[in-house]
A and B are shown apart, each in its own frame.
Chain A
Amino acid sequence: MNKDAFKTIVADGLWRQNTGLVQILGLCPLLAISVNTINAVMLALATLIVMAMSNVAIALLRRLIPYEIRIPVFILIVANLVTVVDLLFNAWFNELYVILGIYIPLIVTNCIVLARVEAFASKHPPLAATLDGVFMGLGLLWTLALLGVLRELIGNGVLFSGIDMVIPGMEAMQIFPPDYPGFLLAALPPGAFIMLGCLIAGKNWLSERKKAKDRKAPLVLRGVPGENTVS
């Protein structure tokens, strides 16, 4: 794999094709779990592991899977891997596992996983497929983390509540003064939608601004007629 292909995978996963902000896939866990940072990051990590593993498994088996029944086969493979992750979470982070509940098994039905498997892993060699899974997962991870941070901070004025479930002994940080009344809406599902809308708007704004900047140099032709026009 050459350097350019690697760069494309990284940029697509983290920014250009970001699962949360551009593809807008897998919103159910995104919105339901991002009440606080820890939940969001841990669910995104679980999804990342599943994506990386399922991408590599399917890339290895891609020549053996009959085209006509590929979807059920993909689902079977993904379901196996999700079971592994589910058991791992149950063993290592039991308290968190209870909170995340149904959302870990539901990774099977998460359309990001199936979308990457179908669109990428089934057509590319294992190394590229693994990287794609990892970087798509990382893209999801930072989006979910940011959403979690914003909702937790605005909703309750704290950060990393429940961190002791992942790293024992750590405590949540109180960012705003304790008499902060809390903005309950941010912690409720509508708050998640509003916040995600703001993040998408922010992403679009940044992309548009960059596009406008890139255009500036060769863009003499688009000036007002009479000014700068190339005859």
Chain B
Amino acid sequence: MMICPPHLREVNSIPRVMRLVCVALAPGIAVYTALIGPAILVQICLSSVAALCFEALMLKMRALPVRRFLGDHSALVTAWLIALTFPPLSPWWLTVTGVFFAIVVAKHLYGGLGQNPFNPAMIAFAVCIIAFPALMSQWPAQGLTLPFERQLEIVFGFVPRIDALTAATPLDAIKTALKTNALHTGNIQELLMSQNLYGTFAGRGWEWVTMTYLCGGAFLLAMGVITWHTPFAFVTSMAAIAALCWLIDPNRFSDPLFHLFSGGAMLGAFFIATDPVSGCSTPRGRLIFGCGAGILAYLIRVFGVFPDGIAFSVLIMNICAPLIDRYTQPTIFGRRGTESDTR
């Protein structure tokens, strides 16, 4: 509430921000569809419908105006992020379970929009990868193009799931290589090439999806929906730690460019770590948040047991966000002295 002049007009209403996020995700989804097939569109529709249903149900149970809060599109953004982070050929109930945990548990049980300490989409990912590790690791094999009906059959469980449909992602491949010490001959890049997983500069195919996420992120920056701090810190810190490991042993670790354009790094940097609710709110806090998330994501994806580290690193930084905010409050305008005096 603005009570004293100068009266600044705030153009960023919640529905507008959420609509812009959806627009920014659109090119990424288009490339994804071209790469994998329409299954991802089915997943997006499925998760959107589920999210709106759960949201309406929870709003009704909490005696809040359903129409007004459904219209803010925040559930839709959560649903799209869930669909994009889950494997595209996941069974339908896996997606619905994820959406349930995101909307009901992570969002409404904590008090609804603006009150959730954790990113709902990442809670969905974390819950599902802990509960169903096998299903959540089934990424479709490279160059796999199934007809639309076949993909629908797999998603809705009319046919038994076949392992041959799935293959290791580039990140899985380098992790396995690191664990099993398969790299006494040759280096990581040759290994990926031998498995037909290496494209022009990162994982084959996925590099273009992540590239469009980067473009979408740039669009959000240009529209003033997000600030540069979190994505910048995320990308630089991840690149820095990847470069460090790469310089130490270029045979065992892949180069920074590969890491930035593999898995969910770009989606995480621009769409997930920038969540205004669960992230930091001060400029310096956002730098620390992005930095921590980037480093943790690298460590988890390279040395951890999970396929990618974005979800867990963002959740860990979400817990730290209130503390970071508390110690990075900027100096009040007009006040003398150092910033730490203002605490």
B130 touches A188 (CB 8 A): yes
A183 contacts B by Cβ under 8 Å: yes
What are 15 A-B contacts with C-beta separation under 8 Å? A181-B132, A181-B135, A183-B131, A183-B132, A184-B130, A184-B131, A184-B132, A184-B133, A185-B127, A185-B130, A185-B131, A186-B131, A188-B130, A190-B130, A194-B105
Q: How far apart sit A185 and B98, CA to CA, in the bound complex (Å)?
A: 12
For residues 106 through 136 of chain B, which have their beta carbon under 8 Å from a beta carbon of chain A? 127, 130-133, 135
Chain A residue total in the interface (Cβ 8 A): 8
A185 to B131, CA, bound (A): 5
Q: How far is the CB of A209 from chain B (nearest CB, A)?
A: 14
What is the size, in residues, of chain B's interface with A at 8 Å between Cβ atoms? 7
User: Beta-carbon contacts of A162-180 to B below 8 Å, as 1s and 0s?
Assistant: 0000000000000000000
Q: Is the interface of B mostly helix, strand, loop or mixed?
A: helix
Nearest B residue to A184 by beta-carbon distance? B131
Q: With the chains together, A184 CA to B131 CA distance in Å?
A: 4
CB neighbours (8 Å) of B130 from chain A are: 184-185, 188, 190
Q: How far is the CB of B103 from chain A (nearest CB, A)?
A: 15
Other than A181-B132, A183-B132, A185-B131, give 10 A-B pairs with Cβ distance below 8 A: A181-B135, A183-B131, A184-B130, A184-B133, A185-B127, A185-B130, A186-B131, A188-B130, A190-B130, A194-B105
Residues in B whose Cβ lies below 8 Å from that of A183 = 131-132
Quote the shortest CB–CB distance from A105 to chain B (angstroms). Answer: 30
Point out the residues of chain B lying under 8 angstroms from A181, CB to CB: 132, 135
Residues of B within 8 A of A185 (CB): 127, 130-131
Nearest to B133 among chain A residues (CB) is A184
CA distance A195 to B130 in the complex (A): 16
User: A191 vs B105: C-alpha distance in the bound complex, in angstroms?
Assistant: 13
| Inter-chain contacts of A190 with B (CB < 8 A) | 130
In whole Å, how far is A203's beta carbon from the nearest beta carbon of chain B? 16
Within 8 A of A (CB), among B69-112: 105
Question: How many Å lie between the Cα of A185 and that of B132 in the bound state?
Answer: 8
Query: Chain B: which residue is nearest A185 at the CB level?
Result: B131
In whole Å, how far is A198's beta carbon from the nearest beta carbon of chain B? 9
Q: What CA separation (Å) do A184 and B127 show in the bound complex? A: 9
Residues of A within 8 A of B135 (CB): 181
Name the B residues within 8 Å of A186 (CB-CB): 131
Q: Which of A91-128 contact B (CB under 8 A)?
A: none
Please report the C-alpha to C-alpha distance between residue A188 and residue B127 in the assembled complex, in whole angstroms.
11
